């Protein structure tokens, strides 16, 4: 019995000393621990992020309707002829930059085809048709390329901008606006970048930005470019004479009065009217030059749309323009983003390297549309 009490006493004392030791250690300042070095798995995640390609894809069923059921196994992607291993396919919120051409309307040339009020109406209708959560920005091509609306998901703010800030100007700097569009998109998530151009594509003389260089910058921005063009409006009006004037013929040029001796002087059997067509040779030359520029710009912009997976829309009248706006909004909302890690690493690319893309469907009755290639981005950014 004595032995049991003594043993119990020792155990109690040991427990007391243990608790005191723990408390003392807890009160001592802890030594700073070195930050753990990134694991191989974490480093691999960083490399995957910088190496990932995001490819916008539109899926159409056998009837030409947008297909909402696209799966990863439905898609075949080749980069420079090599089949790629795809990682994901999904919808992500779009980023849409509007580039609205309002210049040259008062010149008598561009104003014969494009209308700022119609451009405003088309852009507003298109904004209304975009999915909620879409980020939107608005740039005006007027006397200069001017950002009217920074990036926002607030559609009401965009409507106010279109109503209050979009104005007609004497000159159009559409090449400058196209060149600047790439800079506005560089910080937006890749794979969801869109540019909507509403324009006749013609620069007012005196601009300092080369059209070809501007287009190269836009293609390098890796955005899908949709173009609603006024060029067919120009063709509709190109054969109209400069001036038509109808009214009573002056008495001294009335052939009836001059040749009918049976009538008293100063009278005639019936009123005589004439139609005079007046041509302004200088205006005609400017008009021809404008029409030639329209043809050149249409060819250039069409190639941009085809290269980036967008479309060039050529409505004939204002009703068709508004209908095309709805079509562009649907196309943007239906777009998927396909991701893959290129088998030839992006880090091995030379500066400005272009890689050709082919996208095909593995499913019968399904067709896929995408860009034809991309310029390798700077992986250090």
- In this predicted structure, what is the pLDDT of residue 1? 44
How confident is the model over 231-277, as pLDDT tens digits?
Answer: 887 666 555 554 444 555 555 555 555 555 565 665 555 555 555 55
- In this predicted structure, what is the pLDDT of residue 377? 78
| Region(s) of the chain under CATH 3.40.50.410 | 93-242+274-334
Q: Distances in Å between the alpha carbon of 261 and those of 113, 249, 264, 271?
A: 51, 19, 8, 17
Count of beta carbons in the 10 Å neighbourhood of residue 241: 9
**186 Cα distance to chain centroid:** 13
- In this predicted structure, what is the pLDDT of residue 270? 53
- In this predicted structure, what is the pLDDT of residue 291? 78
Paired sense of beta strands 75-79 and 354-361, if any: antiparallel
Block residue for tokens 């030839």: 344
Nearest to 154 by CA among 131, 138, 129, 135: 135
Task: Name, in order, each residue with C-beta under 8 angstroms of 194's C-beta and a sequence gap of 6 or more.
Answer: 94, 95, 96, 97, 223, 224, 225, 226, 310, 332
Task: Name, in order, each residue with C-beta under 8 angstroms of 196's C-beta and a sequence gap of 6 or more.
Answer: 96, 97, 98, 99, 123, 126, 226, 227, 228, 328
**Looking at the whole model, is its pTM more than 0.85?**
no
Count of beta carbons in the 10 Å neighbourhood of residue 296: 13
Q: Distances in Å between the alpha carbon of 375 and those of 47, 58, 107, 214, 345?
A: 19, 20, 38, 15, 14
List average pLDDT for each run of 10 residues in the chain, which is 381 residues long: 43 42 44 43 42 94 94 97 96 96 64 78 96 96 94 97 94 93 91 94 87 92 94 66 50 52 57 54 76 84 94 89 91 96 92 94 96 81 44
Q: How far apart are CA 139 and CA 178, in angstroms?
A: 10
- Please name the fold of domain 93-242+274-334: Rossmann fold (3.40.50)
């Amino acid at each position: 019995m004595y032995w049991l009490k003594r043993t119990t006493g020792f155990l109690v004392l040991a427990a007391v000393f243990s608790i005191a030791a723990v408390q003392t250690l807890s009160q001592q300042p802890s030594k700073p621990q070195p930050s753990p070095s990134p694991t191989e798995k974490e480093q691999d995640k960083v490399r995957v992020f910088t190496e990932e390609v995001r490819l916008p894809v539109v899926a159409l069923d056998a009837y030409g309707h947008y297909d909402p059921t696209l799966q990863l196994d439905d898609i075949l992607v080749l980069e420079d002829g090599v089949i790629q291993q795809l990682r994901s396919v999904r919808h992500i919120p779009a980023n849409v930059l509007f580039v609205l051409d309002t210049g040259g309307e008062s010149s008598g040339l561009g104003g014969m085809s494009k209308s700022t009020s119609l451009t405003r109406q088309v852009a507003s209708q298109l904004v209304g048709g975009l999915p909620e959560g879409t980020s939107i920005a608005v740039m005006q091509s007027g006397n200069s390329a001017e950002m009217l609306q920074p990036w926002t998901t607030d559609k009401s703010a965009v409507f106010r901008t279109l109503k209050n800030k979009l104005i007609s100007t004497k000159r159009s700097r559409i090449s400058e606006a196209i060149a600047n569009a790439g800079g506005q998109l560089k910080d937006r998530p890749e794979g969801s970048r869109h540019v909507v151009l509403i324009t006749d594509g013609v620069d007012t003389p005196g601009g300092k930005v080369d059209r070809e260089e501007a287009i190269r910058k836009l293609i390098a921005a890796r955005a899908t470019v949709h173009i609603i063009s006024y060029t067919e409006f120009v063709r509709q009006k190109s054969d109209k004479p400069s001036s038509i004037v109808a009214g009573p013929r002056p008495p001294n040029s009335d052939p009836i009065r001059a040749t009918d001796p049976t009538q008293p002087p100063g009278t005639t059997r019936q009123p005589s009217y004439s139609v005079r067509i007046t041509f302004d040779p200088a205006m005609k030359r400017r008009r021809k030059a404008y029409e030639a520029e329209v043809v050149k710009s249409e060819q250039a912009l069409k190639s941009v749309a085809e290269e980036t997976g967008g479309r060039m829309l050529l409505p004939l009248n204002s009703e068709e323009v508004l209908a095309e706006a709805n079509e562009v909004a649907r196309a943007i909302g239906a777009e998927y983003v396909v991701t893959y890690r290129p088998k030839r690493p992006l880090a091995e690319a030379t500066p400005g390297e272009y890689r050709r893309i082919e996208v095909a469907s593995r499913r019968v009755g399904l067709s896929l549309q995408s860009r034809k290639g991309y310029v390798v981005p700077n992986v250090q950014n």
